[in-house]
Amino acid sequence: MADERHGADLTPRPQLRLAALLALSTLLFVPLLVHYLEPPALLKVAPFYGLAAALGAAVLLATYTSLGTRYAERLSLLFVLGLTSDLLVYLYVKPYATPTYPAIVANLLTCLLMGSAALYSWRTRRTVLVGAMMCVGFALVGAILSSRGLPGAPFGLAIGSLVAGVVTAAASARVIERFRTSLAQRQDELAALSTRLMTVHEEERRRVSRELHEELGSSLTAILSYLWLFDRQRPEDLRTLQSRAADARRLVAKTIAEMRELSQGLRPSALDDYGLLPSLDSQVKEFTERHGIVATFTADGVPERLPADIETAVYRITQEALTNVVRHAGARHVRVALTAMDGELRLEVEDDGVGLAPKRKNGELGTGLIGIRERVRALGGSASITSGSGAHLCVRLPIPGARAVRA
């Protein structure tokens, strides 16, 4: 049931309106009917064409209401079956309006099926079922006419082409179905990433606000208190004055360190001042000191400086990967390696933890890994993650020509 709803949501209204216009176009066959059919035969066919026109009008009206969105696939199926019945009834009443009329009808049915499968993104099962109904209906009409002594060879050739068309339409529907699944997954990932980005942004603002209030605010308040004491309660001896001055200096130094740490969290100054390699080396060492997980960093052939967007992306990807190690891996060792070769920058982050969760092995990535992949795609690169005795993240990014050195 969920698949049906999801499929309807992906079907835009313009497609349904086009279907309605095609259904109404059956009225154009009326002059042909009058020309080729005698009144008795015309009376047999007219109700079917009237029904098709009524269905087309209903579909057209539905596109301007909520029904056109909720029941798009069902209405399109009704439209296709209506046109199919029209063509088969006309074939039955006037099988040889022209010598090749059976082949013409077969080709029309093939085009109708293939167009509907592509236009409405039908699933493979529906395409096969509708195609089978077309073939059975065509074969029944041919068998009835052959039993009346009419030549059956044209029908045999026509049904062969119809079967080939059904197979082609089913294969096309399979490809479209895979594309729709991939597109839906991509949309879900982007929605999750967007939510994650908003959450992270709000968390970052809350963290900065808290640190400004609790850390810097308390330190500045203490410094203000010392200055007030200097002014209000002047010490009688030099030793007391020196002690208070030393305490004030320590508070100032602590405040400066807190400001630097806060600034480093927002944008690492080393990345701008010294480049990517020193920043990553510092990041990995700090990771070891903070979390007690042994982390190593190596670099080979990496240019001294890279474009700012690449340096920022690699730094943030490493940061996110190490955060995932702390949260999910349960690892004791982490290896971070950065290599440049043949105009490509390769970043590897490997740990000896528990590996990926089962759902992630099946392709369902967490928001952190989705964020990494989006950063990489924005720079024209690729990212992959494998799981065995731990997890192994490999990121490849194209880099412009730059002077390479051994690091």
Render 258-307 in DSSP notation, one character per residue: HHHHHHHHHS-HHHHHT-HHHHHHHHHHHHHHHH--EEEEEEES-BS---
Q: 7 pLDDT exceeds 50?
A: no
SS (H, E, C) 345-390: EEEEEEECCCCCCHHHHCCCCCHHHHHHHHHHHHCCCEEEEEEECE
Task: Indicate whether 14 pLDDT > 50.
Answer: yes
pLDDT, tens digit (0-9, with 9 covering 90-100), for 260-302: 666 666 666 667 777 888 888 988 998 888 888 889 999 998 8
**pLDDT value, residue 361:** 44
Query: What confidence category does residue 100 fall into, taking pLDDT thresholds of 50, 70 and 90?
Result: low
DSSP state of 172: H
| Confidence category of residue 253, pLDDT binned at 50, 70, 90 | confident
What is the pLDDT averaged over residues 391-399? Answer: 88
Phi-psi region of 372 (alpha: psi -120 to 50; beta: other; left: phi over 0): alpha
What are the tens digits of pLDDT across the range 30-88? Answer: 555 555 556 666 666 667 666 666 666 666 666 566 665 566 667 677 777 777 777 77
For 339: left if phi > 0, alpha if psi spans -120 to 50, otherwise beta; the answer is beta
Confidence of residue 1 (pLDDT cuts 50, 70, 90): very low
Considering the entire predicted model, what is its pTM? 0.46
pLDDT at 20 over 50: yes
**C-alpha to C-alpha distance for 166 and 187, rounded to whole angstroms:** 31
Is the predicted pLDDT of residue 258 greater than 50, yes or no? yes
pLDDT higher at 13 or 224:
224
Which pLDDT does position 403 carry in this prediction? Answer: 45
pLDDT of residue 3: 40
311 Cβ contact partners less than 8 Å away, ≥ 6 residues apart: 271, 275, 276, 279, 305
More confident residue, 375 or 244: 375
- Measure CA 403 to chain center: 37
| pLDDT tens-digit series, residues 87-98 | 777 777 766 655
Averaged confidence pLDDT in the chain = 72
Higher pLDDT, 207 or 29: 207
Region 153-174 average pLDDT: 76
Helix (H, G, I), strand (E, B) or coil at 65: coil
pLDDT (0 to 100) of residue 200: 65
How many percent of the chain have pLDDT more than 70? Answer: 59
Residues 169, 109: contact at Cβ < 8 Å? Answer: no
Residue 389's CB: how many other CB atoms inside 10 A? 11
pLDDT value at residue 124? 78
d(CA 251, CA 255): 6
- pLDDT confidence bin for 354, thresholds 50/70/90: confident
Instruction: Please state the length of the chain.
Output: 407
How confident is the model at residue 15, as a pLDDT?
56
Higher per-residue confidence, 258 vs 100: 258
pLDDT average, residue stretch 100-109: 73
Residue type, 349: V
Q: Which of 40-54, 206-220, 280-294, 352-366 has the lowest mean pLDDT?
A: 352-366
pLDDT band at 22 (very low <50, low <70, confident <90, very high): low
* pLDDT tens digits, 114-160: 777 777 767 778 888 888 888 888 888 878 877 777 665 667 777 77
Residues 6+ apart with CB under 8 A from 42: 33, 34
